[in-house]
Structure 1
Amino acid sequence: MTFQDIVFVVFSVIMLLSGLRVVTAKNPVHAALFLVLTFVSASALWLLIEAEFLGIGLVLIYVGAVMVLFLFVVMMLNVDVEVLRHGFWKNLPLACVVAAIMVSELILLIKARGADVASTVDVMHTASNSKLLGKLLYSEFIYPFEIAAIILLVALVAAVGLTFRKRKDSKYVDPGKQSKASSKDRIKLVSMSAEKFVVVEEPAAEQTDVQQ
């Protein structure tokens, strides 16, 4: 067994165990951190097969952006884990059957495409992974790539539109009105009559003659 095989086994075991802990951890913050570990291990496996662009993209996009957002949301919402885990063990057998079917389909797909993968190994060694991916995206898959970009843009605009709501009790400043203001608008002189001081006379103290 070579050193590359040992590294592959180590990262694969870490990825499987951390993926299992994602669905079994009681604390949602711990589950999110285990998911980060799963993504990092998967990125290391991408780097082992010389898919540098996918490995770095997985770390930058999912670990650096998506999972940080997940952690903020989980910490702010204070999710009730007991409600989310209700019925977990009851549905576990069905989930295992579905997972076994998915794994078997992947194994059959890898065996069927094994010859094609072996024939492209020499090409991957002679050219950059990012360069080959760019050529495929902007030549054969240009229309699906543009459609996916439009769908993501629409989803982004919809998310902003759903969160943007006007509140009647909110106070804000209009920069346009501020820039149009002049010195006459800022200072307003009010003419007021002078105040008159009224002297109030105190009543004289009653004097009583004490006759002895």
Structure 2
Amino acid sequence: MSVTTALFYVFSVVLLFAAFRVITAKNPVHSALFLVLTFFQASMIWMLLQAEFLSIALVLVYVGAVMVLFLFVVMMMDINVENLRTGFWKHFPLAAVVGIVIAAEMAAVLLVGFQDLPVAAAADAAKTPNTKALGILLFTRYVYPLEVAAAILLVAMIAAVALTLRARKDSKYVSPGDQVRAQARDRMTVVKLAPTQAEPEAVAPSAPEGKP
């Protein structure tokens, strides 16, 4: 067994364990951290396959941006863990069957695809940098699926903003249009006051009764 094969098995075992802990950990923060570990292990496997661009992109995009934002959101929200885990074992058999079917389909597609790959095409692909090959495939053969995926992501982003943008009674709303149209003379009123005021006249004290 070579060193590359041994490292592949090590990374794969850690990846499977971390992925299992993502769905079994009771604390959402721990699940997010295990997901970060899963991404790191997948990045290492891609590095072993000499896909440096995909490996670095996975770490920078998902671990460095998406998961950090997700951790901030999870830690700031008051999530009731007990309600999230209600009915877990009730739906577990159906979820397990669906997961097994998806894994079998992916394995069948990947195995058939690797077996039908010509040796000459694989040798030519090895000579081309993976970043250049990925760009050529995305913007030539898969340009329409790429545009469809971009449109779907745009719709999902707008939908997420629309779902979270709701009126709250305890929040103070200021119209941006009113702020733009506001002028200095409308924001402050200058009141002219006299520099000095006359002192009130002193009232003489009244004499006590019976005394002149």
Common fold: TM-score over 0.5: yes
Correspondence for 1:103: 103
Correspondence for 1:36: 36
Matched, 1:121 2:122: yes
Distance 1:56 1:41 in 2: 12
Correspondence for 1:140: 141
Q: Deviations over 1:15-60 (max 9, x none)?
A: 1001111111111100110011011111111121122222222212
Q: Deviations over 1:97-135 (max 9, x none)?
A: 222222222332233222234634322320111101111
Residue 199 (structure 1) shift: 1.3
Correspondence for 1:78: 78
Residue 137 (structure 1) shift: 1.2
- Classify 1:140/1:25 alpha carbon distance in 2 versus 1 (closer, same or farther; 3 Å): same
Q: Deviations over 1:125-153 (max 9, x none)?
A: 20111101111111122222223223323
Distance 1:175 1:106 in 2: 55
- Classify 1:104/1:187 alpha carbon distance in 2 versus 1 (closer, same or farther; 3 Å): closer
Residue 10 (structure 1) shift: 0.5
Distance 2:166 2:23 in 1: 35
Identical counterparts, % of pairs:
46
Distance 2:81 2:199 in 1: 72
Helix, strand or coil: the match of 1:110? helix
Distance 2:40 2:58 in 1: 8
Instruction: Output the amino acid matched with 1:49.
Output: L
Correspondence for 1:152: 153
- Classify 1:190/1:100 alpha carbon distance in 2 versus 1 (closer, same or farther; 3 Å): same
Instruction: Output the amino acid matched with 1:188.
Output: V
Between stretches 43-52 and 198-207, larger displacement belongs to 198-207
Residue 4 (structure 1) shift: 0.4
Distance 1:68 1:138 in 2: 30
Between stretches 118-127 and 14-23, larger displacement belongs to 118-127
Residue 171 (structure 1) shift: 5.1
Distance 2:156 2:10 in 1: 38
Query: Once superposed, what is the RMSD of the aligned Cα atoms?
Result: 3.0
Distance 2:106 2:48 in 1: 19
Name stretches of at least 5 consecutive residues in structure 1 with no aligned partner. Answer: none
Instruction: Output the amino acid matched with 1:128.
Output: P
Aligned length: 206
Residue 77 (structure 1) shift: 1.2
- Classify 1:107/1:164 alpha carbon distance in 2 versus 1 (closer, same or farther; 3 Å): closer
TM-score (norm 2): 0.81
- Classify 1:185/1:96 alpha carbon distance in 2 versus 1 (closer, same or farther; 3 Å): closer
Correspondence for 1:197: 200
TM-score (norm 1): 0.81
Helix, strand or coil: the match of 1:139? helix
Distance 1:176 1:103 in 2: 55
